[in-house]
Amino acid sequence: MYAYDHYDQHMVDRRVAEFRDQVSRRLEGRLSEDEFRPLRLLNGLYLQLHAYMLRVAIPYGTLSTRQLRALADIADRYDRGYGHFTTRQNLQFNWVKLVEVPDILAALAGVQMHAIQTSGNVIRNVTADHFAGIAANEAEDPRFVAEAIRQWSTFHPEFSFLPRKFKIAVTGADEDRAAIAFHDIGIRIRRDDAGLPIYDIHVGGGMGRTPALAVLIRRGLAEADLFGYLAAILRVYNRHGRRDNIYRARIKILVAALGAEAFTRDVEQEWIAARADDQGIPEAELARIRSMFAGPELPPAAVTPEKFSAPAFNAWIATNVHPHRHPGYAIVTISLKPIGGIPGDANSDQMRAIAAIADAHSRGEVRVSHEQNLILPYVRRSALPEVWRALGETGLATANAGLVTDIIACPGLDYCSLANARSIPIAQRISERFATISQQHDIGPMKIKISGCINACGHHHAGHIGILGVDRKGEEHYQVLIGGSGDENAAIGEITGPGFSAATVVDAVERIIAAYLDLRRPGETFLAAVRRLGTAPFKERVYAAA
Amino acid sequence: MAEALPLMVTANRLTDGAVVYLTHSGDWSERPAASSVAGTREEHAHLLDTARQRGALAAVIEPTAVPITSLDRPQPASLRERIRRHGPTVRPDLARA
Ligand code: SF4
């Protein structure tokens, strides 16, 4: 794992002291709210419906158990005993007090964490494949690039006042678990014929009001050119991005307006022109960062799991345990989606229990996935029964990863000041409707994603079934989308037609799933069936009974 | 923009973000009461004047006038404001009295 050096620590400590001063000036009335708001947002501090919300960065979703325990302690001491893991691999505390935020930031800095780059028109916390470094078919651990981008972009004067927020995701695997097509920049690392890492650069993806899939503008960029090329993209964006209209300001709009070809030409020109002056990150520094992601030495381990006959254990193995690049080891998904629960929430006891399990069985490391689950990256297969039992003791052994009840939901109108409608109760009701394990397995791979407004924090455009909360004359109303996907075959979901009330939207989801069960070929997943048949037969069924 | 009447003025307290309601005496209360209600434009103006005189606006952020259902019950009309008043619907254990 990456460990802060003197500079990292100094920067973060200095930021805490600076914010402490800003908070006290605000409390004394020497700063107005208009003056203070941008300063607090630079430190991840929002005002939500009920209180301030602090968004803590979890760079590329990697946490040490020490950090996880610190988050649990913060939840108990300064919040209400829980936190919410987000689709950006971050953690949100929902009830912090302004007067205590400097102390929270100091506690975070004590474990090499912060809330920088979690808000504002900057390069946001860079996300990465949650199976980074452990997936079987990976060219390179993408976290090394994500960390290098973090260091390069943090407080970068040229990129601190972008037209709009800017999100970068990195993957090093063929299977895209980082949803790179839905990011402002998506980076895929591959290896060239000589075995050297090369980078494919995708630009202009995003969700929100105008969903777009990123376009591949550069294939096989050499490592030495990566940062010069990223800088060129950001410069073109800085120069031409629409600062006059918040809805037109994302880079996806610029790419669409100029056309991918013209946009790429501008980027290449900028890149070539600046190449002589801009050397990017020194090779030695990249090597230093890379070396920190070598991963732990894993001693050989028995390849087969212990015999264990409990059906519940076997169901959990089938969905929540994934192949590891080291034989004898497994990747475990800890579902934060108990049936009827709040997607992504974990209380402090659960955080501590997970930390203890990760210390005993996963080299003291935990990951956060953009699907709002946690990952144990280094579990010996022989320890799986013990891990399962221990998780079960704190309600964390739900066997549903990748199934219909593993739902992404944003905080929605229960917490968020921008929301039109609630997301969480819809997720809870769908989860309860499909609670039976055999039914979930019968339905197979299914990603339901719910957002409480067009900002799409719940990734509804990328859901196999997506749900978007809208406000219809003061009532909660829901549009339903089908056929979206955030993986290597990314697609934007298609709206089925007229929306549904809160009372009827779960029935609509059930009808879509029933249509799939009727129409599928043997072994065909929901998404494959939608791609084969188109959305028409599903739409027909959705509205037939309405 | 003129809000529909009757209304209350709500905000989040600066120090801790808690949801609060303005009373006619110019204080902020965590619970809306009859003394928070403005039934007429004049009463609304009076609420804000008293708050200004008492320097109460400095203690909060984002003060907003929100419609309520009736003069007798200071219950916010919109779902959003009812959720602000009572807490997240998905966490009844954290509900505000
Ligand atoms: S999608 Fe909308 S409602 Fe949901 S968290 Fe984002 S801004 Fe809030």
Q: Hey, of A50, A78, A418, A478, which one would you mutate to test binding to chain B, going by the most B CBs within 10 A of its CB?
A: A50
Number of domains in chain B: 1
User: Phi, psi at residue A43, to the nearest 5°?
Assistant: -115, 25
Task: Give B17's contacts in chain A (Cβ within 8 Å).
Answer: 47-48, 50-52, 95-98
CATH number of A311-392: 3.30.70
State in Å: Cα A215 to ligand 1 middle: 26
3-state SS, residue A468: strand
Measured in whole angstroms, how far is the alpha carbon of residue B51 from the centre of its chain?
12
Among A99, A245, A100, smallest CA distance to A164 is for A245
Pick the CATH number of A6-109 from 3.90.480.20, 3.90.1150.10, 3.20.20.140, 3.40.1390.30: 3.90.480.20
Query: Does B55 map to a domain?
Result: yes
- The model's confidence at residue A546, banded by pLDDT at 50, 70 and 90, is low
Best residue in B10, B60, B79 for a mutation probing chain A (most A CBs within 10 Å):
B79
Q: How many CB pairs under 8 A join A and B?
A: 65
Q: Amino acid letter at A62?
A: T
ipTM of the complex: 0.96
SS in 3 state form for A13-70? HHHHHHHHHHHHHHHCCCCCHHHHHHHHHCCCEEECCCCEEEEECCHHHEEEHHHHHH
Task: Give the pLDDT confidence of A365-409 residue by residue, as tens digits.
Answer: 999 999 999 999 999 999 999 999 999 999 999 999 999 999 999
B34 in a domain, yes or no?
yes
- Give the per-residue pLDDT at A488: 94
pLDDT tens column, A210-234 = 999 999 999 999 999 999 999 999 9
Q: How confident is the model at residue B97 (pLDDT cuts 50, 70, 90)?
A: confident
User: In whole angstroms, how large is the CA radius of gyration of chain B?
Assistant: 13
* Second CATH level (architecture) for the domain A127-291: 2-Layer Sandwich (3.30)
d(CA B87, nearest CA chain A) in Å: 7
Q: What is the pLDDT of residues A56-83, one digit of tens each?
A: 999 999 999 999 999 999 999 999 999 9
Q: Work out the minimum CA distance from B16 to partner chain A, whole angstroms.
A: 4
Q: What is the structure's pLDDT at A249?
A: 84
CB-CB under 8 Å, B58 with A425: no
The nearest alpha carbon in chain A to B20 belongs to: A50
A397-426 residues touching B, CB cutoff 8 A: 413-415, 419, 422, 424-425
- What range defines the domain where residue B56 resides? 7-94
CA A344 to centroid of ligand 1, rounded, Å: 14
Alpha-carbon distances of A37 from A95, A97, A327, B20, B61, rounded to whole Å? 17, 15, 51, 19, 10
Residues of chain B numbered 26-45 and touching chain A (CB < 8 Å): none
Give pLDDT, residue B1: 44
Q: Is the pTM of this model over 0.90?
A: yes
Q: What is the DSSP letter of A521?
A: P
Closest residue of B to A415, CA-based?
B88
In angstroms, the CA B94 to CA B80 distance is 17
- CA distances to A342, A355, A542, B5, B8 from A86, rounded to whole Å, are 12, 19, 30, 38, 34
The shortest CB-CB distance from B84 to any of A50, A95, A424 is to A50
Least CB–CB distance from A425: residue in B12, B78, B90: B90
Looking at residue A245, its pLDDT comes to 81
A29 in reach of chain B (CB within 8 A): yes
Residue B42 — pLDDT band, cuts 50, 70, 90? very high
- Subunit contact A428:B90, Cβ cutoff 8 A: yes
Same fold, A6-109 and A408-544: no
Chain A residues touching B16 at Cβ < 8 A: 51-52, 97-99
The rounded distance, in Å, linking the Cα atoms of A362 and A332 is: 9
* CA–CA gap between residue A234 and residue A225 (Å, rounded): 14
Q: Classify domain A408-544 at the CATH class level.
A: alpha beta
Average pLDDT over residues A171-184: 96
Residue B85, domain member (yes or no): yes
Interface check A156 vs B, CB under 8 A: no
Percentage of chain A with pLDDT > 90? 89
Query: What is the domain partition of chain A in residue ranges?
Result: 6-109, 127-291, 311-392, 408-544
Instruction: Identify whether B80 is part of a domain.
Output: yes
| Interval A323-368: pLDDT, tens | 999 999 999 999 999 999 999 999 999 999 999 999 999 999 999 9
Q: What is the pLDDT of residue B5?
A: 86
